[in-house]
Amino acid sequence: MASTTCIVLGIPVQEGAGRLGCDMGPSAFRTAGLVTELRNLGYAVEDRGNIAPAPQRELRHPNGAIKALAETVAWTETITDAAYQASGDGMPIFIGGDHSLSAGSMTGLARRAAKKGREFFVLWLDSHPDFHTLETTTSGNLHGVPMAYATGMRGFEGFFPKVANPLKPQNVCMMGIRSVDPAERAALSTAGVTVHDMRAIDENGVAPLLDAFLKRVAAADGILHVSLDVDFLDPGIAPGVGTSVPGGATFREAHLIMEMLHDSGLVRSIDLVELNPFLDERGRTALLMVDLVSSLMGRRVLDRPTQSYRHTPKNH
């Protein structure tokens, strides 16, 4: 993938989360050396800065629990267009921002895949499936709806932009799931999404579960998007998130997934979401997320330095 240009897009959205702080995520990823690490791996990098939401319109939904509907819809409109454009220029890396940004990234990328006549697949690394609709959410936090929206579930009509190219549920693999609301569980039971919860990972390990999905993507000549939520990771190694759930992926499980993804050569875009620097410990979570991206982009275990070379570009 080294011939690929990485397109970094900062998305400082925090309205979808239940607490403030995710808007600082893009700055934290840059401070943690994301762009430098990509360049050290031999990639051309175009950092397009932070995008801004579209103008808001007045929106009211019968579900009174919903928060920041107009703001989230405005963000989704802008992110969808930005994802479509960036995916035509290189490999988009969306640095957020809460997970509501994936409503836009996935729909924009699905549109690009449809234009190319390719199947679009998503590997969803998260403790939550984010499979609520506007009717079923009880928290009202709209970072809990992007997967339901992108797969074309009913209940978003008249509020969110129409999904022109819905993501096929059978093209979604969720890993690390360990916090599911009853309405999400019911929807997932019939949707056709592959769900590997933490028990499945404990019993089988990540390698065979991921390998089976990657073989399906390869067989379809598909385009693979990876959506990585900080809370996929165990909070003991990644404390900088507002929705921490105990029992997440370990350091080595997460790196193994990234290494396998690199070996597959299938990944064409990445979401990095839910980093809340306000809750982090001296940048610990941001640095780990950048390390994981480095593994996905080709840094091998044998290349891993004893002391980090962050912020020190190699001489080429």
Q: For 86-131, give the DSSP string.
A: HHTTSEEEEEES-TTHHHHHHHHHHHHHHHHT--EEEEEESSS---
pLDDT less than 50: residues of the chain? 306-316
Annotated active-site residue 143? The verdict is yes
Residue type, 40: N
pLDDT for the residue 18: 84
User: Residues 6 or more apart from 122 whose CB is under 8 A from it?
Assistant: 106, 150, 167, 171, 172, 173, 224, 225, 226, 227
pLDDT for the residue 311: 40
- Counting DSSP H helices and E strands in the chain, the numbers are 10, 8
Global pTM exceeds 0.85: yes
Query: Pairing mode, if any, of strands 194-197 and 172-177?
Result: parallel
Instruction: Give the active site residue among 37, 71, 126, 271.
Output: 126
Six-digit token string for 135: 């009717």
Instruction: Give the active site residue among 132, 143, 196, 255.
Output: 143
Annotated active-site residue 274? The verdict is yes
pLDDT for the residue 4: 87
Instruction: Give the active site residue among 128, 196, 255, 262.
Output: 128
Are 103 and 15 in contact by the 8 Å Cβ rule? The answer is no
pLDDT for the residue 106: 98
Annotated active-site residue 197? The verdict is no
Instruction: Give the active site residue among 23, 37, 99, 291.
Output: 99
Residue type, 200: A
Handedness of CA 23, 28, 33, 38 (dihedral sign): negative
Annotated active-site residue 126? The verdict is yes
